[in-house]
Amino acid sequence: MITAVLIIACPCALALSIPFTLGNTIRIFGKNKFYLKNVNVIEGLAKVNQVVFDKTGTITQTTESKIKYSGRELTELDSILIKSLVKNSTHPLSKKICDSLDCQANLSVASFREMQGKGIEGEILGKHIKLGSKAFVWANDFLSDNDHEKRIFDFDTSVFVSIDDEVLGNFSISNVYRSGIENTIKELSKHYELSVLSGDDEGEKENLERIFSNESRIWFRQSPSEKLDFIKLVQSFGKKVLMVGDGLNDAGSLAQSNVGVAVTEDISNFSPACDAILDASELNKIPLFLKFSKQSIKIIILSFIISFVYNFVGLSFAIQGALTPIVAAILMPISSISVVIFATFTTNFLAKREGLL
């Protein structure tokens, strides 16, 4: 009898329910180009009650945005130097500038530095090249038309460029919002508090207010350190924060948040400090990912209940001596297999119902 009790009391089914449910969930997310660092991220997603978005490169896209250069006409050497520098950066705006320059550039860059929220710089052929914000490049009022300059600052994202401390001009990149972002935000706003942290000026305020509800908080001119402080402030009120950013510029915020998701148009790019990488084409599925994470936790709880029922019923018979050790040894693997089948089948069924499979 004692042997039968010990066999029945083994929590095998309990131990298997978590890895099989969460492992299958990671597989389903992967099929939807949402790549998680580990299974703990799913539990974090299930607890989220605040979602914070970066703007440039996250809810806006660079692949279809238009780029315009203003300032002193670039020589062929200028273009080669600039393109050689930006090829070393993974930032979405750097890639956009690189694609806009019609020249071959494979010059080596010395002393390359990429500073979060500011810009990039390096030495090429003995020349010091800088690209980034106006303050970082020490830009002067080089444009003759002040109204034109103001228009660029208000409605576009501007990247200034200088060579040997001489400001040449700026690349202005228009903001194009990702397809379906309005429906995504509308769906999220039903269940979560939303915020936007943008490093740009308020030129996009009207568009963002149209996309986000009146209850959402929208902040402009946010440096990486200010974004980090905002995340800490929200967490101090007990919020579980999901930060959705574009990688390097939001590294501090992604690391500080309860779950940090880096959105990228090239998943091979290095995205530090994040818990997950999301292909930009699947951004509209964030509400589904959050919902399915909660459902996965519920499946685990149901699996626990099934396992406890198995153990309780089995123990009641084993204590009465109604089960021989051989019968107990047969029943326990069956219970474990049934819990694994339940967890796997249920996650697959719900994923198909939600359109994730």
E-strand ranges in 91-151 read 110-115, 119-124, 127-132
- Is residue 121 a part of any domain in this protein? yes
Global confidence as pTM: 0.74
CA angle 182, 188, 194 (to 5 degrees): 90
Query: Number of C-alpha atoms within 13 angstroms, CB side, residue 82?
Result: 30
Q: Look up residue 74 and give its two tokens.
A: 């670039």
In a domain, 155, yes or no: yes
Looking up tokens 């299974």 gives 39
List, for residues 230-278, the tens digit of each pLDDT value. Answer: 999 999 999 999 999 876 668 889 999 999 999 987 766 656 678 999 9
Residue 266 domain flag: no
Residue 57 lies in a domain: no
CA angle 230, 232, 234 (to 5 degrees): 70
Structure token pair of residue 52: 């914070």
Distance in angstroms (rounded) separating the CA atoms of residues 301 and 168: 61
Does residue 346 lie in a domain region?
A: no
Q: ∠ CA(171), CA(269), CA(107), 5° rounding?
A: 55
Residues of the chain with pLDDT under 50: 139-155
> Which of 33, 70, 49 lies closest to 282, judged by CA?
33
CB-facing half-sphere around the CA of 163: CA atoms within 13 A: 18
DSSP code string of 44-68: HHHH--EEEEEIIIIIEESSS--EE
Domain-located, residue 194: no
Asked whether residue 169 is assigned to any structural domain, the reply reads yes
SS3 assignment, position 195: strand
CATH number, domain of 99, equals 3.40.1110.10
Structural domain total, the chain: 1
Q: How many CB atoms lie within 10 A of CB 43?
A: 16
- Do the domain assignments include residue 142? yes
Give the per-residue pLDDT at 143.
Answer: 43
Domain of residue 92, residue span: 67-174
Closest CA to 226 of 93, 153, 117, 115: 117
Q: What is the reported pLDDT for 311?
A: 67
* pLDDT at residue 141 in the model: 47
H/E run at residue 217: strand 217-219
